[in-house]
């Protein structure tokens, strides 16, 4: 199917990307490599402002052409801690990443000859042409931006993925808050914390350089979400936590990721959805960067092929490749996620779960936790 017969030359691009976050910037970088005229539109005025500034990750940064400068701290041990049981796992690629540096490197790597970025643009609608394809997007000032292919990389907002029914409009969100604190523990150890004290959620401690750390608490329980900061302050008073961190400021950060069924449809006509707009965060890991980066690269290859051959059917190769690599893994992870949410507020069950982990090998557990278990490159 041809992309367009009716295509305006004014304010027109091969690709228009809604969202200059994780997915949008990776797509822009890759499309610039293909020398495709690309427009990135973002509602923020600063692409380097985040609700969270760090994240724990098993991502090999070199796999995505990023330098070691994006690593805020390299650790070698992941500690699972319930009320009474602790399990330590060794990992070769366990990092705390600096989100600002990750995004800075992506922005600097974008070919400005082919990629244009506009900020403070609030997109409100998407319009079809006479052939039924999506022709252009329109902002709140009624400016029109034409693209042969339009990408929703708008994150949890799902500007168009919700509008066209690829993602439910009123889905659940997992929400978290965190502090940057003084760190009293081992800088090589990253913690994941569970049990009744975390009321249907979980906690984390990510070490940073200079004896600092991030401590956070997240949940998808709507009742708990309303009191997240209060709960995190209570968690800071637990003896285990007081032995590891010292709160010395009141600057709280927070954010959300969508909790949806595993989605497998990301394309409609010439509209492509990537990242949190279609919930591509691994259900177990929670860290989306590695998985969203992979999805973005898959999408960029399908987009290039569609443009090269003037046929939108090639866009569906992105869906197929994603399903082949991730679908079975995500469905297993979604089942595990349900069990975790159900039992995390039960100390006995969580203690038992950590005891049972001793019957699994270190490598098998790391693969499962990193989201890599069962994944095979096709």
- Of 79-83, 261-265, 325-329, highest mean pLDDT: 79-83
Q: Return the pLDDT at 6.
A: 44
Q: Return the pLDDT at 368.
A: 80
| C-alpha distances in Å from residue 336, one per residue of 82, 169, 339, 343 | 17, 24, 5, 11
For the chain, give the mean pLDDT: 89
- Of 53-62, 223-232, 292-301, 332-341, highest mean pLDDT: 292-301
Q: What is the length of the chain?
A: 378
Higher pLDDT, 371 or 191: 191
Q: Return the pLDDT at 366.
A: 87
Question: Which whole number is the average pLDDT over 3-23?
Answer: 77
Residue 230 reports pLDDT greater than 70: yes
| H helix or E strand, kind and range, residue 21 | none
Residue with tokens 């724990």: 56
Q: How far apart are CA 22 and CA 102, in angstroms?
A: 9
Residue 258 reports pLDDT greater than 80: no
Q: Return the pLDDT at 378.
A: 44
Q: Per residue in 125-160, pLDDT tens?
A: 999 998 889 999 999 999 999 999 999 999 989 999
Higher pLDDT, 197 or 247: 247
Q: Return the pLDDT at 371.
A: 77
Beta pairing class for 12-18 and 144-152: parallel
Give the whole-number percent of the chain exceeding pLDDT 90.
64
Q: Read off φ and ψ for residue 114, nearest 5 degrees.
A: -115, -20
Is the separation of the CB atoms in 70 and 30 below 8 Å? no
Question: Which whole number is the average pLDDT over 229-248?
Answer: 94
Is the separation of the CB atoms in 56 and 287 below 8 Å? yes
Per the structure block, which two tokens stand in for 233? 């302050």
Residue 250 reports pLDDT greater than 80: yes
């Amino acid at each position: 199917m041809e992309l367009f017969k009716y295509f305006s030359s004014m304010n027109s691009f091969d690709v228009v990307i809604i969202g200059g976050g994780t997915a949008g910037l990776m797509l822009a970088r890759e499309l610039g490599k293909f020398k495709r005229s690309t427009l990135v539109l973002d509602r923020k005025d600063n692409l380097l402002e985040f609700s969270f500034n760090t994240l724990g990750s098993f991502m090999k940064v070199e796999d995505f052409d990023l330098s070691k400068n994006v690593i805020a701290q390299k650790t070698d041990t992941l500690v699972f801690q319930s009320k009474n049981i602790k399990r330590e796992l060794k990992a070769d690629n366990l990092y705390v990443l600096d989100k600002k540096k990750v995004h800075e490197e992506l922005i600097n790597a974008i070919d400005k000859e082919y990629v244009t970025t506009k900020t403070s643009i609030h997109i409100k609608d998407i319009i079809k042409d006479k052939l039924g394809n999506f022709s252009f997007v329109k902002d709140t000032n009624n400016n029109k931006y034409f693209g042969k292919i339009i990408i929703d990389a708008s994150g949890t907002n799902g500007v168009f993925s919700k509008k066209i029914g690829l993602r439910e409009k009123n889905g659940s969100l997992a929400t978290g808050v965190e502090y940057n604190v003084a760190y009293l523990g081992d800088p090589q150890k990253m913690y994941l914390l569970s049990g009744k004290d975390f009321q249907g959620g979980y906690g984390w401690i990510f070490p940073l350089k200079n004896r600092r750390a991030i401590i956070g608490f997240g949940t998808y329980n709507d009742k708990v979400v309303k009191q997240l900061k209060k709960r995190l302050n209570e968690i800071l008073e637990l003896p285990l936590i007081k032995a590891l961190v010292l709160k010395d400021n009141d600057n709280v950060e927070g954010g959300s990721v969508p909790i949806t069924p595993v989605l497998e449809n990301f394309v409609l006509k010439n509209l492509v959805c990537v990242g949190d707009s279609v919930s591509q965060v691994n259900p177990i890991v929670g860290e989306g960067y590695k998985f969203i980066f992979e999805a973005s690269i898959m999408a960029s290859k399908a987009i290039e092929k569609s443009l090269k051959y003037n046929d939108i059917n090639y866009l569906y190769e992105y869906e197929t490749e994603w399903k082949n690599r991730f679908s079975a893994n995500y469905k297993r992870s979604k089942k595990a996620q349900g069990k975790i949410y159900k039992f995390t507020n039960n100390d006995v069950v969580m203690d038992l779960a950590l005891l049972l982990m001793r019957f699994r090998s270190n490598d098998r557990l790391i693969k499962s936790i990193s989201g890599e278990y069962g994944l095979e490159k096709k």
